[in-house]
Amino acid sequence: MRKYKKSKPPSRWVYHCGILSAFRRQLLRVAHREKHSAWLRSFLVIGIGFDIHRLVKGREFILGGIKIDYLYGLEGHSDADVLLHSLIDALLGAAKLGDIGDLFPGTDPSYRNISSSILLKRTLDFISQHKKRFKVGEVDSIVFLEEPKLGKKKITIANNIARLLKIPTDRINVKAKTMEHLGPIGHKKAVAAMVLVVAE
């Protein structure tokens, strides 16, 4: 009968090479993830904006550049459009260029009752002057109010914001939330808005 030699166990050198190879593969995977994350960070930027205004009589209710029929309007130096003001702050935040108060001081009489749609256009022009590459990708927003109920007006507002930003409507989202009768918003004394912008 043929005698078979017992195979020798792998040497320590081979064993350690296997561990090093596995470790190297893991390092490459981590490096790839880090490189991918760094690549994303180099392109994507995020900005957040928030604004709140008091409801008063004798003012128009402007939201997202759209006039809404309501007994009260928002008090402010300009047209007090909380949604566009929040959007402007979010855009400036993503561009790392300060806030709306820096760009449009409330003490400047030239901004008295000015349309926030105009302020938004000036903001986009300001950003383009300071940033070689800045393109709005997505906008998500929440309007906090007890009244008026926005309903289908949210679609109209989203369409208008898309037009102002010159991006597709499906990249804009407008939500409305009540405050369950809590605080000044819940007691119909104020309206607030929060906006998140993702840009590249």
pLDDT at position 48 is: 96
- The span from the CA of 17 to the CA of 11, in Å, is 10
> Which residue, 116, 88, 98, 118, is CA-closest to 195?
88
- In a domain? residue 19: yes
Band (20; pLDDT cuts 50, 70, 90): low
39 and 93 share a domain? no
Q: Provide CB contacts within 8 A for 44, sequence distance 6+.
A: 137, 198, 199, 200
- Judge if 39 and 60 occupy the same domain: no
**CATH, residue 91:** 3.30.1330.50
Query: 110 with 151, same domain?
Result: yes
| Cα separation, 72 vs 56, whole angstroms | 5
Instruction: State whether 39 and 58 are in the same domain.
Output: no
> Could you tell me if residue 1 is inside a domain?
no
| Same domain membership, residue 37 and residue 53 | no
- Number of independent structural domains in the chain: 2
What gap in Å lies between CA 71 and CA 55, rounded to an integer? 10
Domain co-membership, 34 together with 60: no
Answer whether residue 4 is part of any domain: no
Torsion of CA 17, 21, 24, 25, to 10 degrees: -170
State which residues form the domain around 21: 10-43
- The Cα–Cα gap between 42 and 35 comes to 10
pLDDT score of 106: 83
Decide: 85 and 195 in contact? Cβ < 8 Å.
no
Per-residue model confidence (pLDDT) at position 21? 61
Q: What is the mean pLDDT of residues 24-42?
A: 57
Write the pLDDT tens digit of every residue in 109-166.
998 989 999 999 999 999 999 998 899 999 999 999 999 999 999 999 999 999 999 9
Q: Is residue 117 part of a domain?
A: yes
Question: Is 5 within the bounds of a domain?
Answer: no
Contact 118, 174 (CB under 8 A): no
User: Within this chain, do residues 117 and 89 fall inside the same structural domain, yes or no?
Assistant: yes
Residues 15 and 65 reside in one and the same domain: no
Q: Is 107 helix (H, G, I), strand (E, B) or coil?
A: coil
The one-letter amino acid at 60 = E
Q: Do 86 and 36 sit in the same domain of this protein?
A: no
- Flag whether 140 is in a domain: yes
The answer to whether position 3 is within a domain reads: no
Domain-embedded: residue 152:
yes
Examine the domain organization and report whether 124 and 137 are in the same domain: yes
CA distance 48 to 71: 30
Contact 130, 97 (CB under 8 A): yes
The mean pLDDT of 37-66, rounded to a whole number, is 86
